[in-house]
């Protein structure tokens, strides 16, 4: 297993639309395991392959506090979405930034698991938000896209300044908000 480098906004590679996975084989399972390890180490509760510059439709999530409930979604598709949920979101690709985003509160999603078996899942609250945030990554979309252009510009400048000064990523574990 390996810790992979996470791309940061405004890296244009984060705008790539990921391809469907054709075959769930050993190589793909290695990617899944690397994504999980990278997410746990960050630490975050979700990570999409796009964020590590692999443009295949794969994402991992673990919203448990003990990091012992890994969920794998390959070729995820939202079948139904309803209600509204608003929470402050963070993102491993937008380090140190937390902003309120509105999403559906309940979703039904279908995907393949780590073995390539299809499954369906109904999710609500944080898990539903997390799945929507990660699927956005696979479509080249970031949570800052839901904010005003002015706010997005400010975030961009702040991150570029941090990078110029060679600051480390702010530790994400100190925040109550989910870092997805
Ligand atoms: Ni994210």
Please enumerate in sequence order all residues whose Cβ is within 8 A of that of 119, keeping only pairs 6 or more positions apart, or say none. Answer: 110, 111, 112, 113
Query: According to the model, what pLDDT value does residue 102 have?
Result: 96
Cα–ligand 1 centroid distance for 155 (angstroms): 15
Distance CA 113, CA 73 (A): 6
Cα–ligand 1 centroid distance for 91 (angstroms): 4
Query: According to the model, what pLDDT value does residue 169 have?
Result: 60
Cα–ligand 1 centroid distance for 134 (angstroms): 6
Q: In this structure, how many other beta carbons lie within 10 angstroms of the beta carbon of residue 27?
A: 8
Cα–ligand 1 centroid distance for 27 (angstroms): 23
> Which candidate in 37, 134, 167, 177 is catalytic?
134
134 catalytic? Reply is yes
Distance CA 106, CA 101 (A): 15
Query: According to the model, what pLDDT value does residue 127 have?
Result: 97
Weakest mean pLDDT among 41-50, 93-102, 130-139, 157-166: 157-166
Extract the tokens encoding 41.
């180490």
Q: pLDDT tens digits, residue range 70-87? A: 999 999 999 999 999 999
Question: Is the pLDDT assigned to residue 171 strictly greater than 80?
Answer: no
Query: According to the model, what pLDDT value does residue 179 have?
Result: 87
């Amino acid at each position: 297993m390996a810790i992979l480098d996470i791309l940061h906004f405004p890296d244009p590679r984060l705008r790539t639309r990921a391809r469907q996975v054709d075959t769930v084989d050993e190589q793909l399972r290695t990617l899944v395991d690397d994504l999980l390890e990278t997410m746990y180490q960050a630490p975050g509760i979700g990570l999409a392959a796009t964020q590590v510059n692999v443009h295949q439709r794969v994402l991992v999530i673990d919203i448990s506090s003990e990091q012992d409930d890994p969920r794998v979604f390959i070729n995820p598709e939202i079948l139904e979405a309803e209600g509204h949920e608003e929470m402050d979101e963070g993102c491993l690709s937008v380090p140190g930034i937390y902003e309120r985003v509105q999403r559906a509160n309940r979703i039904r999603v279908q995907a393949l698991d780590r073995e390539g078996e299809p499954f369906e899942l109904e999710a609500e609250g944080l898990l539903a938000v997390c799945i929507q945030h990660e699927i956005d990554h696979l479509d080249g979309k970031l949570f800052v896209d839901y904010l005003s252009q002015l706010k997005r510009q400010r975030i961009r400048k702040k991150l570029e300044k941090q990078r110029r000064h060679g600051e480390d990523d702010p530790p994400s574990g100190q925040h109550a908000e989910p870092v997805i």
